Amino acid sequence: MPKTAFISTAIPYVNARPHIGHALEYVQTDAMARYLRLTGTDCFFLTGSDENSLKNVRAAEEEGVPTQELCDRYTQVFMELLESLNLSNSDFIRTSSDLHIRGAQELWRRCRPEDIYKQHYSGWYCVGCEDFYTEQDFPDKICPDHGTPLELVEEENYFFKLSNYQDALLKLIESGELRIVPATKRNEILSFIKGGLRDFSISRSRKRAGDWGISVPGDDDQVMYVWYDALANYVTALDLSEGSERFRDYWLECPKRIHVIGKGINRFHTVYWPAMLLSAGLPVPTEVFVHGYLTINGQKISKSLGNVIDPIDQVNQFGIDPVRYYLLRAISPTEDGDYSESRFQEVYNADLANNLGNLARRVETIGAKAGHVVRDAPVGDAPEGYHEAMADYRFNDALATLWSLASHLNQRIEEVKPWELAKRGKTDDLAEFLDEMILGLRRIGYWLEPFLPGTAAKLSALFTPGETIERGDPLFPRLG
Using CB under 5 A as the criterion, what x/- string covers residues 441-460 for binding Zn ion?
A: --------------------
- List the beta bridge partners of residue 118: 158
Cα dihedral across residues 173, 176, 180, 185: positive or negative: positive
* Contact criterion met (CB below 8 Å) for 10 and 259: yes
In the bound state with Zn ion, the residue whose beta carbon lies nearer, of 151 and 156, is 151
Question: Which of 19, 100, 259, 291 does the annotation list as catalytic?
Answer: 19
| Residue count, binding to Zn ion (CB under 5 A) | 6
Q: Nearer to Zn ion by C-beta: 128 or 283?
A: 128
Task: From residue 89, give the alpha-carbon distance in Å to each of 82, 442, 455.
Answer: 8, 25, 19
* Identity of the residue, 133 or 419, whose beta carbon is nearer to Zn ion in the bound complex: 133
Query: Closest separation between CB of residue 225 and Zn ion, Å?
Result: 15
Look up 300 and say whether it is catalytic. yes
Backbone angles phi, psi at 31, to 5 degrees: -60, -40
62 vs 151, which CB is nearer to Zn ion? 151
Strand 337-339 versus strand 294-296 pairing type: parallel
Distance in Å, CB of 227 to Zn ion, minimum: 13
Q: Residues 350, 353, 357, 361: what is their CA dihedral angle, to the nearest 10 degrees?
A: -120
Looking at the Cβ atoms of 129 and 379, the one nearer to Zn ion is 129
- Cβ 137 to Zn ion, closest distance in Å? 11
Closest among 276, 283, 267 to 165, alpha carbons compared: 276
Active-site residue, selected from the candidate residues 71, 111, 126, 254: 126
Q: Is 100 a catalytic residue?
A: no
What is the rounded distance in angstroms from the CA atom of residue 236 to the CA atom of residue 201? 21
Q: Which one of 143, 254, 269, 372 is the catalytic residue?
A: 143
Q: What's the Cα-to-Cα distance from 36 to each of 9, 75, 172, 315, 329, rounded to whole Å?
A: 15, 27, 24, 25, 19
Q: How far is CA 367 from CA 356, 370, 380, 406, 462, in A?
A: 16, 5, 22, 17, 11
Q: Which is nearer to Zn ion, 137 or 199 (CB)?
A: 137
Radius of gyration of the chain from its Cα atoms, rounded to whole angstroms: 25
Catalytic residue among 129, 263, 369, 458, which?
129
Q: Using the CB atoms, write b or e for 49-74: b if 16+ within 10 Å.
A: bbbbbbbbbebbeeeeeebeebbbeb
Residue 54 or 85: which CB sits closer to Zn ion? 54
Catalytic residue among 300, 408, 417, 423: 300
Minimum Å distance from CB 263 to Zn ion?
15
Per CB under 5 A, 277 contacts Zn ion? no
CB of 147 to Zn ion, least distance (A): 8
CB of 149 to Zn ion, least distance (A): 10
126 is catalytic: yes
Q: Phi, psi (5° rounding) for residue 72?
A: -60, -45
* Near Zn ion in 109-168, by CB under 5 A: 126, 128-129, 143, 145-146
Residue 120 near residue 248 (C-beta atoms within 8 A): no
Residue closer to Zn ion, measured from CB, 146 or 424: 146
Minimum distance between the CB of residue 19 and Zn ion, rounded to whole angstroms? 17
Q: Which of 22, 269, 291, 372 is catalytic?
A: 22
Is 303 part of the annotated catalytic residue set? yes
User: Is 129 a catalytic site residue?
Assistant: yes
Q: Judge whether 118 counts as a catalytic residue.
A: no
Q: Which residues bind Zn ion (CB under 5 A)?
A: 126, 128-129, 143, 145-146
Residues marked active site are found at: 19, 22, 126, 129, 143, 146, 300, 303
